[in-house]
Amino acid sequence: MWYPDTFFLLRGNHECRHLTDYFTFKIECRHKYTELVYDACMESFCSLPLAAVMNKQFLCIHGGLSPELQTLDDLKKIDRFREPPTHGLMCDLLWADPLEEFGQEKTNDLFVHNHVRGCSYFFSYHAACQFLERNNLLSIIRAHEAQDAGYRMYRKSKTTSFPSVMTIFSAPNYLDLYNNKAAVLKYENNIMNIRQFNCTPHPFWLPNFMDVFAWSLPFVGEKITDMLIAVLNVCSKEELAEDDDQKLLEDKPLVDDAEQRRIVIRNKIMAVGKMSRVFSVLRENSERVTELKSLSPTGKLPLGTLALGMEGLRTAITTFEDAKRSDLENERFPPTREIKEQMMKEETDNKLRTAVNEQDELMEEVADTMLE
């Protein structure tokens, strides 16, 4: 709005209702502002252009090429004022990627199904070169993929000796996890410069604007039940046997009353064990949706939020490639939020049922020891 003649934004794959609802943008808008602000953002996203040609030399797009994109005129035929579809030209402009072995392909196919994204295509070096020659362009400038150095230059075109594709990624330390640099491309007077920069510290917050007290309750509950178990397990079998002998000498209770009392005590002990396991499940869920840096000895964030659950918390991310591999799940075209929430609910319910119903040998041993 401040620079309408010199500053232009292009639409990316996240600028849609589906992804803003699946991730956190919608929640943040509703928490900080109102639903009207969110709807206004969605309307503006649908108005963003999908592509731009810079200096009649560079095609700028978010994702990549499409088998349906032959000439630049094809871009003008797209109805962009809508939610992106799951296939077709508009989808490919937002979701496509260059092949990982770009320029050294082992296939003659120009386009290959993009299994990483779950939609769209990987495009090859030959597909890029043919498109550039057909449209008299120099290079394709795109984003969509985090880069360790903030940018990547792909194989040069044989006709121009200029990189056929350039990826520019301008988010430093992506997700507070990748520890990557960011880059911006400056093109002025036919001179191209790439400037890199690092991230700056920012305050930490819990996901979904959860307060720390609600988040910490499962941890507190688990510790309290651990304390109860420790109290119950403080005596050895020999000490309990001596106490029982003295008790029997002093006063012999009726057999039925004693047996009933043993059953009640045993049930209480086993209930403490169930509480401990239930709080453990809730605590694991809290860990899975948080990104507490203190959990990692390296100071980097754990993998808990990357759909890897507790396994992620046991592994510290040490390299950019580790972070990229761990985040593959979030790079795919996501299911609906309802499906995601249903899956998480079913997973938690199953864990809770298991925690309540499973046999606890440790607690049974404690109960047997106390009641012998």
In the predicted structure, residue 362 carries a pLDDT above the cut 60: no
Q: Within 10 A of 70 (CB to CB), how many other CB atoms are there?
A: 12
Q: Can you read off the two tokens belonging to residue 346?
A: 């079913």
- Residue 16's alpha-carbon distances to 20, 43, 91, 144, in angstroms, are 6, 9, 12, 15
pLDDT at 204: 75
Q: Which of 16-25, 61-70, 288-297, 362-371 has the lowest mean pLDDT?
A: 288-297
Structure token digits, residue 88:
């077709």
Residue with token string 């880059």: 183
Q: Are 222 and 280 in contact (CB under 8 A)?
A: yes
DSSP string computed for 257-306: HHHHHHHHHHHHHHHHHHHHHHHHHHHHHHHHT---GGGSTTSSPPSIII
**14 catalytic per annotation:** yes
Instruction: Report pLDDT digits (tens) over 98-151.
Output: 999 999 998 899 999 999 999 999 999 999 999 999 999 999 999 999 999 999
- Provide mean pLDDT across the span 197-204: 87
Q: Out of 184-193, 208-217, 219-228, 295-304, which region has the weakest mean confidence (pLDDT)? A: 295-304
**Residue that wins the pLDDT comparison between 343 and 292:** 343
Residue 146 tokens, joined: 């985090």
Closest CA to 310 of 301, 318, 320, 302: 302
pTM higher than 0.75: no
Average pLDDT value for the chain? 79
Query: Is the confidence at residue 14, as pLDDT, over 50?
Result: yes
CA distance 167 to 183: 10
Task: Supply the pLDDT for residue 179.
Answer: 87
pLDDT digits over 113-125, tens only? 999 999 999 999 9
Collapsed DSSP state (helix, strand, coil) of residue 121: strand
CA angle 168, 157, 109 (to 5 degrees): 90
| CA nearest neighbour of 97 among 169, 189, 25, 190 | 169
Domain annotation for the chain: domains and CATH numbers: 49-197 (3.60.21.10), 208-371 (no CATH)
289: CB partners within 8 A, 6+ apart: 207, 208, 304, 305
- CA nearest neighbour of 327 among 291, 273, 283: 291
Distance, CA of 109 to CA of 61 (rounded, Å): 22
Catalytic residue among 14, 18, 87, 126: 14
Residue 4's pLDDT band, with cuts at 50, 70 and 90, is confident
Strands 121-123 and 97-98: parallel
Going by the DSSP 8-state scheme, the letter that residue 208 receives in this structure is G
